[in-house]
Structures are given as C-alpha cells and as structure tokens.
Structure 1
Amino acid sequence: MTGQLLQFGRYMLTDGGLETDLLYNRGIDLPCFASVVLLRTAEGRAALEAYYRPYLELARRVGAGFILESATWRASPDWAAPLGLDLAELDGLNVAAIELVRRLRAEYERSMPEIVVSGCIGPRGDGYDPGEVMSAPEATDYHTHQARVLASAGVDMISAITMTNVNEAIGIARAAQMVGVPAVISFTVETDGRLPTGDTLMDAVMAVEAAEGASVSYYMVNCAHPDHFAAVLGQRAAWTQRIRGLRANASRCSHEELNAMTELDAGDPAELGQLYRALLATQPQIRVLGGCCGTDLRHVTAVAQACIPPA
C-alpha cells in the first residue's frame, strides 16, 4: 500500500477509546495519557493484546475489515521527557507498538477480508486545546521524526488523530508523503461543530486539500459526540465526500467538561449506534467506524449492528 491513496469499498471497523478504556474500565495507569508506555513490559503488551482482540473478533463476526490503530497517539518526540524516556527509547516503543499490531494482523488476516496497520500520530500538544499553533513547515519538521519511525516499522498508513488545527494536519500529511506512506487526517470539533481554532470543518478539509505536498487518502471526525457535528454533515456536498470515517465520543460533554471529569461518561451505546446510522444515511461514503473517548467494545458493537448490513 505504500505510496498509494487508500480507498475502502467495504466497511472497516476500528477500536474505541483506547486510553479511556484502559484507564477507567481496566484500572491501568497511563502517565500523560500515553498508552505507548505499556509496550515497556510483558504485562503491558498483554493488556494491549487483550484490548485489541475482541474488536478483531467483532469485525470478523460481522464480515468487516479492520484498522489496527497503534498505541502511539501520544508518542511524538516532545513526549519523551514527560514520560521519563530519551528519544531513542520512545522510538523503540513506537516500533514495538507496530510490531504488536502486525503480529495480530498475521494471526487474523486469513479469516478476515482486510486488516490495515495504521501508525497513529497525535497532536504535538494537548488533544483538546491547540495552544500555540505551529506553522505548517514547523509541523512537518516536528512530525517527520515519528512518521519515519512508524514507516520503518512497516505501517500501511499514518493516521493523524484529534487534529485541533489546520497547520498541524498539513504538517503530518506532508510528513507521511515524505516517508512514502498514505495519510489519513481526523479533525476534532467543539460543540458548535468547529475546530478548537474556530475554523469550520469544511474550511479545514479544503485548506489541507489545497496545501502542496499534503495528499490525504480521506478525512475523519473524532473526539466529539455526533450531536456536535451532525448539522455540519447534514447534507451532501463535494467536501463532505472526503469524510470517510467516524470515531465519536460517547459523551455529549464539551472538551472542557471532559477534561475536568474524574469519572467516565460512557453515554448510551445503543443510541450512539443509531446516531451513526443517521449520519451514514446522509453520508453513505463513510466506511470507517470506531469510537473515541468514553467508548469501548459495547459502543463499537452497537455501531456495527446499526450500520453494517448482515452478510
């Protein structure tokens, strides 16, 4: 797949809210909300495998493909020091994360229509607050390091998850192109359907599309409840055809409210499935279905049952 744009004709499931599930449902400590640290120990690697396997079983059961998203959302260079690592150690954990999901693919691929290994790259800073926005060239320089490590480990694509601003999205798309791997960009939005910077989702997609050297296979929306962006995707338009994935939150709370919570808001899995189904009625090109903060296997199961026709 290297160097090619990815277009999925079949439904592709992916996982739910990895970090919130591990932290709140399974009681696993994640310093700095970074699941990549689990790759340091055999127990941590076993916990990640135990997390992924039921999702793969679900996809196999419903006849869908699956995107194995690596536990590297918070594993770019600036996070080494806060995690008590040097850069070489963090790079090694990035590689270990890809090795783990590649092993899982090898185990399941003969019994499933398609499994894609995705190297996950998160924002340089906070996942909810864009903070000081880098220029697009600065973002390219920064994210190329992790993109190169993930590419060398053998990913099929790079997914930029929870993008809060246009420049960082452009930077990661350019970094992926530089290392010869397809890119997927997933924006997060506030309760008004706009990025945390105030940009509309339409303007954000169009800005990345127009940026030289930023080829993107498709776009997604993640880390927001469907109620926050349903109106934005309420009608078909040329730009919405580029939105092909959803990874929504379980909770209707704002990012600010979620950040202040000490208990998980898991919402209503069945309702979430129906909200996905309503979005797909308007945007049938959406093929990648998963979850984000507060979601777990229950939510993705409900989404699959609501949206994927029986085989």
Structure 2
Amino acid sequence: MYIGGLMGCKGDAYTSERALNQEEAIAFHSWQASLFKSVGVDFLYAGIMPVLSEAIGMAVAMSDTDIPYIISFTIQRNGKLIDGHTINDAIYYIDNHVSNKPVCYMTNCVHPDIVYEALSHKFNQTQMVKNRFWGIQANTSRLSYKELDGAKNLRISSAVDLGKAILRLKSDYHLKIFGGCCGTDSRHMEEIAGISKVV
C-alpha cells in the first residue's frame, strides 16, 4: 500500500478562475508539499490543474521535496488545458522548469472519450506525450467541464461503456494508470480493474 498526498489548484479547476501565476503557486503550494514530506508520504499528486502557470509552480513546490509526484491536468476536447496550452507544451514547460521531473502526467475528472479526442490532435501526437502522459481518473459523464459545472443532476455512463472507453485509450494510446473520479462506484471500478488487465 502506498500513501499519497493529494494537492490541487487554489481556484476553480473547471474554469481557471482565481488561478495563480508561477511565483504565487510556488509560495502557496510549498507549505502543503513540505507538510506532506514531514509526515512521510510515498508520493504527491496534483489533481486537475487548469492552467500551466500554476501547474509549473505546483511542480516546483513538489520537486523541491524530492518525493515522487504526478501532475494531472484539466483537459478539454480541443487537446488543451483551460488556458489554451496543449498537453505537449504543458509537459515540455514543466519538465524544463523543475530539478526533479514528475513521474508522469495524467488527467482526471473527465470522460475517457474526451481524453481520446484530446490526444488525437496532431499537436499532441508527439513522442513527449507518448512517453510522459500515462493515465486517467475517469469521470463517467461525457459532458464538458462547462456543461458539468453547476449541473443539478448526476450524469453517468454505465460501467461497461466506461470500461470500453478506457480500453480504447489503453489500446490506442498505451496509458498505464486508470482510476475513477466523479460518478464512479464499485461497478465502474470493477470494470476498470478488469479492463486494466487486458493486454
């Protein structure tokens, strides 16, 4: 069993409102990263980071702890973060701004079909994305962040449908880490666990 320290953006992960610039992010996130280090967590995980500036600052704060860490982006169908940076560019800039690179990059709180579309854009069809983008914690809804934000009813897809969508990501883009986010329950997790064993 591994114990992780979960961190996230200061503002709204779906809209990027109140996002921090790089220097603000280093100052804001360093105290929490240091606290996690003091209690001996095995790894750090930054969930749905919507803008590159705060993601870089978050990565610097995590890198300085010498603890393995993962950066997970807020990703849209257009293949970009909320601030318009491509997945490829976000990975490039972070990898070149830290002394200790993330173990890998991921996305979470998004449906696998949206991630599949995001990765299919030519600007994300790079060796860097193939080598560094490893996983998804899936939302069961196919709706966009904008459509989901403030929605009054839970929107889900079946466990089988979610499993098929994740299998397509694994088969075509060779992702390695799979998990559940909003809308998932034991049925979805059992399906994902079964799919993850498929070669």
Global fold match (TM > 0.5): yes
Instruction: Tell me if 1:238 matches 2:120.
Output: no
State the identity %: 33
Highest relative contact order (Cα 8 Å, sep 6+), 1 or 2?
Answer: 1
Does the CA-based 8 Å contact 1:290-1:300 persist in structure 2? yes
Does the CA-based 8 Å contact 2:25-2:57 persist in structure 1? yes
2:143 equivalent in structure 1: 253
Q: Distance in 2 between matches of 1:257 and 1:214?
A: 36
**Alignment coverage as a number of residue pairs:** 195
Does the CA-based 8 Å contact 2:11-2:19 persist in structure 1? no
The one-letter amino acid of 1:305's match is G
2:162 equivalent in structure 1: 272
Q: Distance in 2 between matches of 1:137 and 1:190?
A: 25
Q: Distance in 2 between matches of 1:231 and 1:263?
A: 25
Gaps of 5+ in 1: 1-114
The one-letter amino acid of 1:251's match is S
Match of 2:92 among 194, 198, 206: 206
Does the CA-based 8 Å contact 1:192-1:229 persist in structure 2? no
Gaps of 5+ in 2: none
Match of 2:178 among 256, 273, 289: 289
SS at match of 1:244: strand
Does the CA-based 8 Å contact 2:75-2:118 persist in structure 1? no
Does the CA-based 8 Å contact 1:189-1:223 persist in structure 2? no
Q: Distance in 1 between matches of 2:108 and 2:169?
A: 14
SS at match of 2:38: helix
TM-score (norm 1): 0.59
- In the TM superposition, structure 1's runs of 4+ consecutive aligned residues that sit over 4 Å from their partners are none
Does the CA-based 8 Å contact 1:174-1:215 persist in structure 2? no
Q: Distance in 2 between matches of 1:178 and 1:299?
A: 36
2:9 equivalent in structure 1: 123
What RMSD, in angstroms, separates the aligned Cα atoms of the two structures?
Answer: 1.9
1:71 equivalent in structure 2: none
1:133 deviates by 3.6
Q: Distance in 1 between matches of 2:53 and 2:43?
A: 20
After superposition, residues 145-224 of structure 1 pair within 5 angstroms as 145-213=31-99, 215-224=101-110
